Structures are given as structure tokens and as C-alpha cells.
Amino acid sequence: MCTEFIAEEETGNHDPLRWGFSGIGRQELTNSLGKRKELRDVLMNKEASDGLSANYYVLPKGAEQLQDLISHRNMNAQIGEIFRACYRYGLVAHSPCSRDIKKIIFYAQAELKRLENLESNKGA
């Protein structure tokens, strides 16, 4: 749904009433939210950042361990393993840096494959 709105907005073939913005035109909607990119971020549930600080870097209340952050962000297994390996990188005696990097690459490739499969099945 959000991608349809963005496509309509980019081509100028946009009906604000279709999307529930009664009484507001495309330009007014864009102006009220700021730049076009900020509108897309809002519609795609992404936060804007000034490059210095952002709410997505604030730790959730009660977070004491990495698992709390992984659960809070609803990370899947691959992303959780990457997050853990990055955090402990170079700190664990039984896990040299090369092993951690290989683990990060392994799980990143698994996640990429999962996403590519999702995208290809979406078009099928």
C-alpha cells in the first residue's frame, strides 16, 4: 500500500482522497510533512535522522543484555547472530576475530538469500 502511494506521488497521478487525506492536496500533504523523502520515510515507518542522533539509538527501558535489544527490535535468527558476533568481536578467547567475521558473513549471506527468496516469490 505504501509503495503504491509513493509511486502515485512520484508520477503526479495521486488522489489524496483514495488514501484518506480528505481536503488536502498532494502539495499541501508534502509541505505539511516536509521534504518528499521525509514523507516516504513516514509512510514506510522509517525515522528521519539529522545525522547526529536518532530515537532508534535510544535503548529501550529495562534492556540489560543483547537479547533484550534483539527481542525489542524483533530480529530474526540471522540478524541476531550477526548482532551478537559484532558485539563480542575480538573479546572472546575461544573465538578469534577471523571466526567472528566468518560467522558474520555466513549469517549475512543466509539473510540475503532469505530476502532474495522473499522478493522473487513476491513477484511470482
Return the pLDDT at 23. Answer: 47
Report whether 76 contacts 108 (CB < 8 A).
no
Q: How confident is the model at residue 101 (pLDDT cuts 50, 70, 90)?
A: very high
d(CA 32, CA 117): 38
Domain spans of the chain? 2-43, 62-123
Taking 60 as the threshold, does the pLDDT of residue 91 lie above it? yes
Considering only residues 92 and 26, tell me which one the structure prediction assigns the higher pLDDT. 92
Q: Give the chain's length.
A: 124
- Continuous H helices in 1-123: 2-11, 26-33, 36-43, 66-72, 77-88, 97-123
Query: How far, in Å, CA of 50 to CA of 67, rounded?
Result: 28
* pLDDT score recorded for residue 1: 42
Query: Is residue 86 scored above 90 in pLDDT?
Result: yes
CA 82 to mean position of chain CA atoms: 16
Total Cβ atoms within 10 A of residue 100: 19
**pLDDT tens string 16-71:** 545 444 444 555 555 555 555 555 555 566 666 666 767 778 888 999 999 999 99
In 3D space, the residue among 89, 83, 88 whose CA is nearest the CA of residue 108 turns out to be 83
